[in-house]
Structure 1
Amino acid sequence: MPLRFATHSKRVQKIAVEHGWEPSARYTNLRDVQDFDNVNFIDIDFKNYDFDKHLDAVKATKPHLTVAQDVIHLGELDRTLDQAEELNKHADKVIIVPKAIGFEGILESAIPKNYILGYSLPTKYGGTELKPKEFKRPVHLLGGRPDTQRKLGDLMNVYSFDCNRFTLDAKFGDYFVGTKFVPHPIGGYDNCIKDSIKMINLLWENYSYESKF
């Protein structure tokens, strides 16, 4: 089963970890994981990215994974790779997120093999325009609906994913049942979070990850 992260509040982190997910936080919200002995994923604030703050958070937590600044234009690749090299000194693996359509046909040769590729699912915040077939190495899925993430698992070699879409629906008393969100029979935010996570785990239960490191 892929590594699973819900980069959200301390409340959500506690429930997620109890069900096999890994502690994670944005570099801006390390307080969310201060009660855990380890942090396995440090995410970024991609709209207001600050490399120095990101690097400080990675140095402090020594995570298994962190994600570098998105590559929206090919001309940004060298900058992101330089930053990723610094981050990689303090994290086991760094995720590079190629969003530029110019990566088509050259993705595997353009990004060094020691980096995991990140596929950003299309949302109102944007996403990766490249086709899944371009991603031929281990992939981290970023955001989106949990059922859409699972469908991508049949097209890609998914090493890990972060998902917190279900926290939005939980605010309205809805939870994920595998293909859609429906009202929870008992209700309550924590119940919605817990049962959504259980269903996401079930979706990935028999998934076979092929290691290519």
Structure 2
Amino acid sequence: MEIIKFVAHSKKVISIAQKYGWYPGARYTNLRDVKTFQFCSEGFLDINWKSYDFEMHLAAAAKVEPRITIARDVECIHSLDGIIREAEELLRHSTHVAIVPKDVLLNGRLQELIPKEFMLAYSVPTKYGGTKVTVESFDRPVHLLGGRPDVQRSLADVMKVFSIDCNRFTLDARYGDYFDGRRFIPHPMGGYEQCLTASIENINQLWTDYSVHPDVKALIGGPV
């Protein structure tokens, strides 16, 4: 059994990734590029966390019924109750809902404060964002949000990873670079599609030795 991999990008990227076992993803603000893909019960519905609109998110979830969607980021512990109420509504339309803890006051308290029916999402640190909540606090199956593929894989050694979304490699592919399993380097032949394909193949290879946790197997639906 493998973890679930999503990419939220163009039709071209999603089409290539699907050949390697990945699933489509999209922000709730842009469902255009996933219209031609099987999304219901398979897709990943991401959010616009810098300018979040719950009603728009809920409407999109009701329309596409994703496999997993992300609740509003918990940037302040005092907003947690409201975010849980929103997550409960989202759960009516999504197989799984993940809550993103970011306030350091949540350290060591996720089991106590976040109901078990919700997964957690870890915002992999990048220059665009991240979380200071310790990885040790994440007590249940986790979705890894963005970041470098090698960093995602290293986090999986200390987390119960259910799924990832990754599109970092699409940015590098625009400049003729690909992920070789350790770093991004120029592709020997170049070409956008060649870079995409090589990166996806090497990201898949990173996860071949990953032992999926029994808690994750139970959620994915395979034998524990």
1:206 shift after superposition: 2.2
CA distance in 1, matches of 2:117, 2:213: 16
1:119 shift after superposition: 0.5
Contact 2:27/2:46 (CA < 8 Å) preserved in 1?
yes
> Is 2:81 the counterpart of 1:78?
yes
Q: Which residue of 1 aligns with 2:33?
A: 32
Contact 2:143/2:164 (CA < 8 Å) preserved in 1?
yes
- Which stretch shows the higher mean deviation, 146-155 or 127-136? 127-136
CA distance in 2, matches of 1:186, 1:200: 19
Q: How does 1:181-192 map to 2 (within 5 A)?
A: 181-192=184-195
- Taking structure 1 as reference, are residues 136 and 51 closer, same or farther at Cα in structure 2, changes over 3 Å only? same
Match for residue 52 of structure 1 among 25, 50, 55: 55
- Structure 1 segments (4+ residues) deviating >3 Å: none
Q: Which residue of 2 aligns with 1:177?
A: 180
CA distance in 2, matches of 1:87, 1:172: 38
Contact 2:20/2:200 (CA < 8 Å) preserved in 1?
yes
Q: How does 1:1-213 map to 2 (within 5 A)?
A: 1-39=2-40, 40-212=43-215, 213=219
2:116 maps to amino acid: K
2:68 maps to amino acid: L
Deviation digits for residues 160-201 of structure 1, max 9, x if unmatched?
Answer: 011111111011000000110011111111111111011000
Q: Secondary structure at the match of 1:54?
A: helix
1:48 shift after superposition: 1.2
Q: Secondary structure at the match of 1:23?
A: strand
Instruction: Say what the alpha-carbon RMSD is for the aligned residues.
Output: 1.0
**So what's the TM-score if we normalise by structure 2?**
0.93
Contact 2:108/2:136 (CA < 8 Å) preserved in 1?
no
**So what's the TM-score if we normalise by structure 1?**
0.97
Contact 1:138/1:211 (CA < 8 Å) preserved in 2?
no
CA distance in 1, matches of 2:9, 2:195: 15
Where structure 2 has 5 or more consecutive residues not aligned to the other structure, the ranges are 220-224
Deviation digits for residues 89-110 of structure 1, max 9, x if unmatched?
Answer: 0000001000000011211111
Q: Secondary structure at the match of 2:98?
A: strand
Deviation digits for residues 66-106 of structure 1, max 9, x if unmatched?
Answer: 00010001011011111101100000000100000001121
2:181 maps to amino acid: G
1:4 shift after superposition: 0.4
Deviation digits for residues 134-180 of structure 1, max 9, x if unmatched?
Answer: 11210000011000000001010100011111111011000000110
Contact 1:145/1:163 (CA < 8 Å) preserved in 2?
yes
CA distance in 2, matches of 1:155, 1:37: 32
